[in-house]
Each structure stands twice: as C-alpha cells, then as structure tokens.
Amino acid sequence: MTTVNEVRPRVGPWEGLQQTLTIAWRTLVQIRHNPFELGDFSFQPIMFVLLFTYVFGGAIEGSTSGYLRFALPGIIVMNMIFVTMYVGMGLNTDLTKGVFDRLRSLPIARWAPLAGRIAADLLKQAWSIALLLGVGYLLGFRLGTGIVGLAVATVLILFFALAFSWISVLVGVTARDPEKVQILGYTALFPITFVSNVFVRTDTMPGWLQAVVKANPVSQLSDAVRGLLIGGPVAQPALYSILWAIGIMAVFAPLSLYRLKKRV
Amino acid sequence: MSDVIQAEGLVKRFGETTALAGVDLSVRNGTVLGLLGPNGAGKTTIVRILATLLQPDSGRATIGGYDIMTQAHQVRQLIGLTGQFASVDENLTGLENLVFVGRLLGMPKADAKARARELLGSFKLDDAGERAAKTYSGGMRRRLDLAASLVGRPRLLYLDEPTTGLDPRARMEAWELIRGMVSGGMTVLLTTQYLDEADALADDIVVIDHGRVIAMGTPDELKAKTAAQTLAVRPVDPVHVPTVVAALSELARVEPEVDGQLVSAPVADPGVLPLLYQRLAQDGIEVTELGLRSASLNEVFLSLTGQPIEEESDDDRQ
C-alpha cells in the first residue's frame, strides 16, 4: 500500500458513505476520551425521569406509577431535542479548531463531514432512547402496545432528530465558539421543551398557553410517541410531527448550508 | 510539467478589504518556496486558495496541472496541509488522529494503523501515540499536524507558519524535519514571518505585502537586493575607529555608519566577516564586538518598500 495512487476524478457514493462512517466513528471515539459527554446524555435524562416521577409525579398525576406512564414518552422526546445540540457543538469545535479545514483539504466527499456528525448523533439518540426505556422498565414502565409500536416510535423520534439537527447545525455554524452554542442552545431549548405537554397535561393550563402548547411540535411528537408506546391516538399527532420535521428541514438545511459556505 | 504550482493574477476580497490584489506564483517541482510577509499580508489567503479551501474572485491556478476551481478533487489528492487553520482533533490520541486520516483516504484499517505508527516513529511521537492530542506540548502538536498532512504521501506540502509560537529548540527541530522531507523530494510551499526561516529552508522566496508580490528571488538574490545583513565592529581603542571604517568600507563597498565606537555596514555577502577578521588581526586591532546580524523582516521591508511594516496596532499610535 505504499505506492502512489493515481489521481481520480471524483468520489464514488460508496466511498462517500465509508468516509461518513469514519467521521461518525471519530465522533464516537471522542466520547471515550471525554466521558462527561456520555454523562450529559445518559445521567441527565435519568435524573429527569427520577426527579419528575418521584418528586413531582404524585402531585401532578396522583401516583408516581401513573405519572411515569404519562411522562416517560415525553421525556424521551425532550432528551432527543437536547441531544441534537451536540451536532452543533461538535461542528463548531471543528470549525474553530481547524479540524473542518483539514477535512475539507482531503479528497473526500463534500457532504461526508456533516453527514458523519449527524450519523453519530443518530447513534447517540438511539442509545439515549434505549437507556431511558431501560430505566423506565426498571421503575415499572411497561409497553402498552408492542414491538411494532416501539419500532415505529423509535423511527419517528430519529426522523424528527434528523430534522431538528439542522437547527443545531445552523447554531453551530453561526456561533463564534462552542460555549456560545451551548448557551444559545439551552436558552432556546428550555422554553420549547417545557412549554409543551411533556410533563403536564395541556388541559390543566390557562387557555392562551394551551394554544401555544398544542402548536408546539414537541407536544405533537410526545403525543405520537405516547400513542405508540402506551396506546391511544397516533395518526394525527404523528402526521403533524412528520410535517413539522419536514418543515424544519426545508427551512434550516438550506440556511445552514448557506451559512457554512459563507463561513469557510 | 516542471512547475507544481502555477498561479496567475489571484484576487480575493473580503467585503471592503482586498486580501489579494493579483498574485502570480510558480513553484518548481522538488523545491521549497517561502512566502514571506507580515501578519495580514495575504499569505494564509494564498495557501487557502491553493489548497481549494477558498475560491479566488479572479485569477487562476493549477496544481500539478489540475485547476483548483474545476478539478479541486484531483488537487486534494496531491496536497498535504499543515497550518494555523488545518489541525488535528484534540480529543483523539495521536495514533487515532493519524488512523482517522488514513481511513478517510481509503486505506484499509491495518494499513492505516501501520502508516500511523510509521509516522509517529519518524516524528518522535511513539511514546505519545496513545495520549490525547490536547496533552501535547506546542512542538509535539505541530509534529502531529505535520504527520497528519503526510499520511497520504502528498506530492506537495503546504506549511502555513510552521514555527510561529514555538520555542527556539522546537523551532530547530521543525526545521530539521522540513529539511528531511525536502531531501526526500517533496515540493513545499512555506509561509513565514521570519526572514531567517525563509533563508534557512527556501530555495526561492516571494515577499508579500498588502496582497501583492513586492519582491522575489533566491535568498541570496533577495539579500543582495536588500543588503539583508549588517556587519558590526567595535574596536577596543577609539583611535582605531578610522582604520576600521576604512577596512569595512573597502570590503563592504559602502560607507559604514559610525555610532560612537561602533562601526557598522550592510553587507550582502557573509564572506566579508572572515576577511574583516583577518584584516583586523593583521593590523593588531582588538575588538570587543564583531558580528554579522541578520536583517529583521522589518529592515527588509524598509529597503523594499521604503516603509516599515504596518501593523494594525500602529494605527492607534499616531
């Protein structure tokens, strides 16, 4: 393998995919060297589950087990939204530290660096979903539907994560340093996730807030996931969630790519 | 084709500022071109354009015969990039960083690992291979950066300010590494703010200021043109000053400057120093100081442009 390769005119799609996987691998290896990140998307959601179930659960729903049933699907959705922030933070670190330029100077597919980030993010998402369901199971959460419901819920969450990642990409490309990404991200994400039906039923809120909460895609997706995991209406909230995801992607993907092109 | 890099009329604007105002360059195969200039002269912009990271507003360039705009993918297969802006991943170990690049270049896992180990060895990083790059010293970081740009055995290497911020020892080590690569036949485009670095490493030097080429030539031609060195002598006894002035003016062929007992003159040929030493010894003149000092980049600029280097901070000084 020490011979000089001949110069080739373009990258094949298969090679591009391998490069994407290599970049995703690198993102996951980083976790090994920075275990705090693992804590962020592992212990933090578990804390939320424990906190809300045992501290607030009784007051909100009358019983902790009943509350867990209601809240766990929403907490999975909320956690997904927070985990998407890693795409933006990682991208921003690469941009500010010069890793992105090194990647761009290599003969690899132009889309591989971004696709690799997002692919790694989807793996983190899948891990988080499994972890939360596992913890939920230990605390007494049971699927009211079946394996198909679980599979569809997972795909739906991952699809929404894919779309929502583009918001994170935009923040990552725009912000000057990774700390700003975090600040910007959390400032925006707290209202989006809390002003929803993740923790509390919509009909307990004042009328004007109900309108906001019902329109919030996080509420729609939480409803869809509830339906898919514990039973109940699925079609309408799932449809709205998918439409929201497509809408977010249609707006933020081109915007992010435009800003990225401007920045580098 | 003997020129690896050929660039004509490169222009780049960032908003109101003109970073490059029409730059022509050519680099011969197997040689080192030093791009010399102060901060903000446009050196990094030139490297970024030639590395396909940035598109020029006008002008054209080819690398190994491939056009940087229309055949960027081919160009990327020929080049390696090390610099202020092309860096390694601090969270990965040295080994992982190199394996990562090798895998991206399509090497099978075993080959990528073997190549990584080989590079770690030749850059004296064997012991640090399993440690995260963020724990490395400045010199080790540069060596890892350099190793990462060599994984694919590029024909052409860009080194953007390879020694800026390094201590003198790490700087010398970096020079040795670069010399070694060039003797292996690699073509190098080096940017630097230091005249001595360009002098030590480059076959040809292009001096850049305000996005323009203001001088080019071999280090010797450039030094001859700018009298890049100063010979200074301080006789012990003030009565010897006129003799020293006469000897130095004859050897340097310019009228020396006299500042108290210090006699100095710009010289193009460092060979003047031993000649002067012999002359002084013959005449029995003792000196407290005798030496050749490289001109600073500032002095070269002064002689090329008639103006000192404008640093951004100078604006406030008015």
Taking 50 as the threshold, does the pLDDT of residue A1 lie above it? no
Q: Quick check: A9 and B74 CB within 8 A?
A: yes
Helix A112-139 to helix A13-33 angle (10° resolution) is 50
- Residue A56 sits in which domain range? 14-263
Does residue A6 fall inside a structural domain? no
Distances (CA, A) of B199 to B2, B196, B202: 23, 5, 6
Taking 60 as the threshold, does the pLDDT of residue A84 lie above it? yes
To which H or E segment does residue A19 belong? Answer: helix A13-33
Does residue A18 fall inside a structural domain? yes
Residue of A nearest to B158 (CA): A105
Does residue A5 fall inside a structural domain? no
Query: What is the predicted pLDDT for the residue at B270?
Result: 76
Cα torsion through B102, B107, B112, B115, rounded to 10: -90
pTM of the model: 0.81
Q: Quick check: B87 and A101 CB within 8 A?
A: yes
Strand partners, B229: B267, B294
Q: Quick check: A97 and B90 CB within 8 A?
A: yes
Instruction: Name which of B73, B104, B105 is nearest A10 (Cβ-Cβ).
Output: B73
Task: Tell me the mean pLDDT in the region A246-253.
Answer: 96
3-state secondary structure chain B: CCEEEEEEEEEEEECCEEEEEEEEEEEECCCEEEEECCCCCCHHHHHHHHCCCCCCCEEEEEECCEECCCCHHHHHCCEEEECCCCCCCCCCEHHHHHHHHHHHCCCCHHHHHHHHHHHHHHCCCHHHCCCEHHHCCHHHHHHHHHHHHHCCCCCEEEEECCCCCCCHHHHHHHHHHHHHHHHCCCEEEEEECCHHHHHHHCCEEEEEECCEEEEEECHHHHHHHHCCEEEEEEECCHHHHHHHHHHHHHHHCCCCEEECCEEEEEECCCCHHHHHHHHHHHCCCCEEEEEEEECCHHHHHHHHHCCCCCCCCHHHHC
A–B interface: beta-carbon pairs under 8 A: 94
pLDDT digits (tens, 9 = 90+) for A114-151: 999 999 999 999 999 999 999 999 998 999 888 999 99
Instruction: Name which of B83, B89, B149 is nearest A99 (Cβ-Cβ).
Output: B89
Does residue A246 fall inside a structural domain? yes
Does residue A230 fall inside a structural domain? yes
Does residue A145 fall inside a structural domain? yes
Query: What is the predicted pLDDT for the residue at B121?
Result: 93
How many structural domains does chain A have? 1
Query: What is the predicted pLDDT for the residue at B308?
Result: 61
Q: Which has the closest alpha carbon to B222: B294, B293, B170, B313?
A: B294
- Restricting to A residues 27-46, those with a Cβ less than 8 Å away from any Cβ of B are 29-30, 33-34
Query: What is the predicted pLDDT for the residue at B112?
Result: 96
Query: What is the predicted pLDDT for the residue at A3?
Result: 42
Q: Quick check: A107 and B77 CB within 8 A?
A: yes
Query: Which residue positions in chain B have pLDDT lower than 70?
Result: 1, 85-86, 224, 226-228, 295-302, 305-318
Does residue A222 fall inside a structural domain? yes
Q: Which has the closest alpha carbon to B42: B219, B213, B216?
A: B213
Does residue A43 fall inside a structural domain? yes
pLDDT digits (tens, 9 = 90+) for A160-218: 999 999 999 999 999 888 888 888 888 888 888 888 988 888 888 998 999 889 889 99
Query: What is the predicted pLDDT for the residue at A238?
Result: 94
Residues of B in Cβ contact (< 8 Å) with A97: 87, 89-90
pLDDT digits (tens, 9 = 90+) for A41-76: 788 889 989 998 898 888 888 888 889 999 999 999
Residue B114 Cα to chain centre, angstroms:
31
Query: What is the predicted pLDDT for the residue at B313?
Result: 38
Residues of A in Cβ contact (< 8 Å) with B52: 104-105
Query: What is the predicted pLDDT for the residue at A262?
Result: 83
Query: What is the predicted pLDDT for the residue at B180?
Result: 86
